[in-house]
Amino acid sequence: MKTQLRVVAAGILAGGIAAGLISSCGGSDGESSEVDSATNSAAGDSEATSTPSESGTAASSESSSDTRTRTVISCEDFTQALAPVVVASAAPEEIPQNDGSTLCVWVGDALIVSAAITKDGADAEVVQILRDDPAAIEDSRVTELDGVAMRTDGVGVQTPMYRVSVAVSGPGADESVELEAAIAIAQELEG
């Protein structure tokens, strides 16, 4: 049972956090862009989120039984918190996703930050299982939020109330920059 829960929990964080990123930032002319690169990096090959169903197995969020409700998240609320990571040259792009998350994209002079933000908490048992995963990143700031950070195709942070997945592209973009951005957003959310 613990192995099954670990697989479901890891799937929620690693695959599900950035589920809407692939299709959300494509250009209208079909050409690829740096924004596509950053968001596709965070999304990996995932096309749908996995959530635990009543029987404890994974179920696609694209199913008609998905009962999540959209929580209004304003990307502009995180711009100041992200200033140490990316100084945005314009207001962030805000793209509501089918899975109830909001995709935020900040474009700066050097970096592009993409973040999928979902009001979708995890109980303490799931967070502990994720902390034991080899992909977990130890950081006291995340622990203070009663959450866990994980390496995905970017960096994801799961707290008791929110999931945040971040991918950063541009010169100097690496896991530490993604972690800083994800923590800044999570801290702002948890206020």
Query: Could you tell me if residue 127 is left (phi over 0), alpha (psi between -120 and 50 degrees) or otherwise beta?
Result: alpha
- What is the reported pLDDT for 29? 39
Q: Please compute, for residue 69, the number of CA atoms within 13 A of its CA located in the half-sphere on the CB side.
A: 2
Domain count, the chain: 1
Torsion of the alpha carbons at 57, 62, 66 and 68, rounded to the nearest 10:
110
- Is 6 strand, coil or helix? helix
Q: Which residue has the tokens 């799961």?
A: 158
Residue 3 has pLDDT above 70, yes or no: no
Q: How remote is the C-alpha of 186 from its chain's centroid?
A: 10
| pLDDT (tens digit per residue) in 78-115 | 999 998 888 877 889 999 988 888 999 999 888 999 99
143 neighbors 127 (Cβ within 8 angstroms): no
| pLDDT (tens digit per residue) in 54-66 | 333 333 334 334 4
For range 130-139, the mean pLDDT: 93
What is the domain extent for residue 138? Answer: 2-62+71-190
Residue 42 has pLDDT above 50, yes or no: no
17 neighbors 152 (Cβ within 8 angstroms): yes
- What is the reported pLDDT for 155? 95
Compute the distance between CA of residue 138 and CA of residue 152 in angstroms, rounded to an integer: 14
Query: What integer best gives the mean pLDDT of the chain?
Result: 72
Residue 142 has pLDDT above 90, yes or no: yes
